[in-house]
A = this chain, B = another copy of it.
Amino acid sequence: MRFMTTSDKPENAAGTPETAETAEVTGIAAQDWAQASADPQYRAAVVDLLGALAYGELAAFERLAEDAKLAPTLVDKAELAKMAAAEFHHFERLRDRLTEIGEEPTRAMEPFVDALDGFHKQTAPSDWLEGLVKAYVGDSIASDFYREVAAHLDADTRGLVLAVLDDTGHAEFAVEKVRAAIDEDPRVGGRLALWARRLMGEALSQSQRVVADRDALSTMLVGGVADGFDLAEVGRMFSRITEAHTKRMAALGLAA
């Protein structure tokens, strides 16, 4: 499975370049949680979002701890363990937030367990470098996605989502290690490029599964709720995420 690899900027219908960052703050985005959550559909969508993000962090914790075992040195092992601990603390903030708004965290996470476990099961890295590429690609795409969505959330939820997406230092670490490995043996680049493509394909197929299953979440994404995305905007969002992925892979010395 292959994502678009063109580097042309996707154009929106109005012909004016508009990214999530420059979008005007109106509607939900101008409200706080107390106001915005009065809409039960919006509330359900945010619970889904926090649940998915929380289980994502818990799964990331497990994945990084598992990858730590593949680390070639004790310093590398400690570095991965540190990232794992950081992901766990993100999980704690999301779980506590769910409790704070009167939701049972486990129930909010449950709907996303199969998709996330499925993703990790289908993409178990066979060595240290594959683990690093996976963590880097996975974190980056998830982070891009949540940042895009965050722009359409109420101020309180947005603040939390952006806080837990704070870089855990993973990107820089992974880039440095992978580059060094490719410099040493250029054939490694080809193998890892294929691997990155497989990761993107698997991530996409699990995302589709979630979108098909979770009405509130997908309704928010395609504009049924308040000032959510419209379908064209969802297309543009995927283009931006794919472009960013392509650029990151190139920077890493991998053809995407």
Question: A-side interface residues toward B, CB under 8 Å?
Answer: 55, 58, 61-62, 65-66, 68-69, 73-75, 77-78, 81-82, 84-85, 88-89, 91-92, 95, 105-106, 109-110, 113
**Structural contact, A58 and B81, CB atoms closer than 8 A:** yes
CA–CA, A92 and B79, complex, Å: 10
B62, A81: Cβ atoms under 8 Å? yes
Cβ B58 vs Cβ A62 within 8 A:
no
With known contacts A81-B91, A85-B89, A95-B78, A68–B73 Cβ distance under 8 A: no
Task: Name A106's contact: one of B62, B68, B73, B105 (CB within 8 Å).
Answer: B73
Oligomeric state, in copies: 2
Kindly list chain B residues whose C-beta atoms are within 8 Å of the C-beta of A84.
Answer: 61, 65, 84-85, 88
Task: Give the residues in chain B near A105, CB-CB below 8 Å.
Answer: 74
Q: What's the Cα separation between A95 and B79 when bound, in Å? A: 12
Q: Pull 5 A–B residue pairs with CB atoms less than 8 Å apart, ordered by A.
A: A58-B81, A61-B65, A73-B106, A74-B109, A84-B84
Residue in contact with A65 in the complex, picked from B62, B82, B91, B92, CB distance below 8 Å: B62
Q: Determine whether the beta carbon of A92 is less than 8 Å from that of B88.
A: no
A174 vs chain B, min Cβ distance (A): 19
A82 near B78 (CB under 8 angstroms)?
no
Residue in B closest to A73 when the chains form the complex, CB atoms: B106
Q: Which residues of B contact A74 (CB under 8 A)?
A: 55, 58, 105-106, 109-110, 113
